[in-house]
A and B are shown apart, each in its own frame.
Chain A
Amino acid sequence: MISVQTQDFDIGALYQQVTASDNNPLGYGAIVTFVGKVRDFNLEQNVSGLSLEHYPGMTEKTLLNISQQAKNRWLIADPIIIHRVGDLQPGDQIVYIGVASAHRKAAFEACEFLIDYLKTQAPFWKKEQTEAGYQWIDARESDQQAATKWANNDE
């Protein structure tokens, strides 16, 4: 299940959804979740707000595609991926990933794979409001390297 939305999400409700029988019919008991939040500092300038732009349509397609890749690679239930867009404040939740598997190793790996691929392939762009004005955030080489590692390590 994927969702691109402006509204906040409830981690408790999403946890119930990850473990619910319609999403997790085999009752997998190893659950790994990841939550990303807005930081209030970046490159030494205080961040007072964040604006997230996306490419409607392509974003959803990309998230479904990386979900499918994770399901092909590990024995997991359908992952839950939520990503917010629009204006956010420091401390706000941005992204949620929930994965259920029979064993913890697959659940941890699939969750990490999903966030690494999301960060380098899903068309979202962050713009920060700082004391110096608005600035677009630069993509980080370390994120690209993390995603490349999975591609090179295709089992």
Chain B
Amino acid sequence: MLSIVFFAQTREIIGQGELSLPFEQAFSNLENIRTHLAQQSDKWDLALTRDKLLVAVNQEMSPWDTPVNDGDEIAFFPPVTGG
């Protein structure tokens, strides 16, 4: 199982903060997960547009071609604006 979490605008557009996704072998990297989720509806597609979207695996920001393993926590969010 993958644990997927969303923050800020991404969370607001999707309308939920987290979900569990059964792991599949086809999920070879982060980009595959993103496209899988974006296919669900226009709302998801909009929230997960790759332009400016960031992704973290197990709480570390990672490039889109990073491999995914069963049990990973994957977070999608917009560019950060703290400080």
Could you list which residues of chain A lie within 8 angstroms of chain B, going by C-beta atoms? 36, 52-55, 57-58, 61, 83, 94-95, 115, 118-127, 136-139, 143
Contacts and interface: CB of A to CB of B under 8 A. Distances in A.
B38 interface: no
B83 A119 contact: yes
A26 to B, nearest CB: 28
Interface of B: 5, 7-9, 52, 56, 59-61, 75, 77-83
Nearest to B7: A55
Contact of B80 (A61, A95, A124): A124
Contacts of B5: 55
B80 A123 contact: yes
A136 B9 contact: yes
B31 to A, nearest CB: 20
A12 B49 CA distance: 45
Contact of A55 (B9, B52, B75): B75
24 contacts: A54-B82, A55-B59, A55-B77, A58-B56, A58-B59, A58-B60, A58-B75, A61-B60, A83-B82, A83-B83, A118-B83, A119-B80, A119-B83, A120-B80, A121-B80, A122-B82, A123-B7, A123-B82, A124-B80, A125-B81, A136-B8, A136-B9, A139-B79, A139-B81
A57 B82 CA distance: 15
A120 B80 CA distance: 6
The 4 closest A-B pairs by CB, nearest first: A124-B82, A139-B79, A58-B59, A125-B8
